[in-house]
Amino acid sequence: MKPLFHKVPTQIQASFSARHDVQPNFGSLWHYHPELELHHVIRGKGVRFIGDNIGNFSAGEVVLLGSNLPHMWQCNEEYYQSHPTRKVEAIVIQFLPDCMGRDFINLPEMYLMPKLFENARKGMKFTGRSRSRLIELMYKATQATDMERLIVLLSILKTMAETDEYISIASAHAFYKSNEMDAVRINKVCTYTLSNYKKDISLEEIANIANLSVTSFCRYFKLMTKKTFYDFLIEIRISHACRLLVEDILPTEVICFECGFNNVSNFYRHFKKVTDMTPLEYKKKYLYSKVAVGF
């Protein structure tokens, strides 16, 4: 999808932004910005879009996004309904690569930074002790003042640069920058799909949402996302199936129909194609890794 450029708000007297957000949801804007973003979800769950990756997010996740890497955290449907106690919560730290000065980043002692920034271009999901350490430091960053803020940021950079406890998220980081009309249109398509993935969505229906003919929509969507709308819909459904599998409440056959598939064999075929695992293999692997990294 072509994302919308987003201007990150910063304080005049601050070299980077560190905030603790509590709000109804994370919005639904597919966007990018030159600042790197370290994002820790404290409360909330749903589907996140990072580069060309579609995956689930839940409480405890710590992700680093590189400069201009398009992203969106789309909460589950219930978070967009008015509810007095249902909130999402996150700590978000955003900083430019040279926020401490270009000369500072080029110091010999900072030799790990270029590699970190390059790895971040695909997105990095941290695990294990590194994840725990980063969460601790992120809380400190929201409370620190003056020079202490820079010390905490350096500690965060050091932790991220030295660890191998992370998973790359996107398989590629190339994308086209968009104009505002493209961003509004693709966000309407994305929002509608996320709200209606359980039912059959015809090309006529989704093309109408985008205010395009079917032929024009198919060409437009492939240009924006490098995939067909049908492939995009399947990935959304499989992402939700993955979440239900690891919640381990519903049997696989029920999950199949809950996520919009019309028969079990079709579900198994698409699940294997997208994840390279069967539903049972995925559940076992996730539950094992969840224990191993301390989620």
Domain boundaries, the chain: 8-168, 180-293
Render 252-281 in DSSP notation, one character per residue.
HHHHHHHTT-SSHHHHHHHHHHHHSS-HHH
Alpha carbon distances (Å) from 6 to 32, 35, 239, 276: 6, 10, 26, 35
Pairwise CA distance, residues 285 & 295, whole Å? 14
Q: Beginning with the edge strand found earlier in the chain, give each strand of the sheet holding 4-5 in spatial order.
A: 4-5, 31-32, 71-75, 46-50, 53-57
The helix/strand/coil state of 156 is helix
> How many whole angstroms separate alpha carbon 25 and alpha carbon 89?
8
Rounded to whole angstroms, the Cα distance separating 184 from 83 reads 26
Q: Which of 184, 147, 194, 176 is nearest to 46 (CA)?
A: 194
CB atoms within 10 A of CB 118: 11
Name residue 230's beta-bridge partners: none
Q: Residue 9 class from Cβ within 10 Å (0-12 exposed, 13-18 middle, 19+ buried)?
A: exposed
Phi and psi angles of residue 18, each rounded to the nearest 5 degrees, phi first:
-140, 115
What is each CA distance from 54 to 203, 232, 250, in whole angstroms? 21, 9, 22
pLDDT recorded at residue 295: 46
Q: Report the alpha-carbon distance of residue 184 to residue 3 in Å, rounded.
A: 9
Query: Which of the residues in the chain have pLDDT under 50?
Result: 1-2, 291, 293-295
Please report, to the nearest 10 degrees, the dihedral formed by the alpha carbons of residues 189, 191, 197, 202 taken in order: -20
Instruction: Please give the angle made by the CA atoms of 60, 51 and 16, to the nearest 5 degrees.
Output: 60
- Assigned CATH class of 8-168: mainly beta
As a whole number of angstroms, the distance between CA 48 and CA 215 comes to 28
Q: Which listed CATH number (1.10.10.60, 3.40.605.10, 3.30.465.10, 1.10.40.50) goes with 180-293?
A: 1.10.10.60
Burial (CB < 10 A; 0-12, 13-18, 19+), residue 107, is exposed
Element (H or E) spanning 292, and its range?
Answer: helix 279-293
Residues in the chain: 295
Q: What is the reported pTM?
A: 0.76
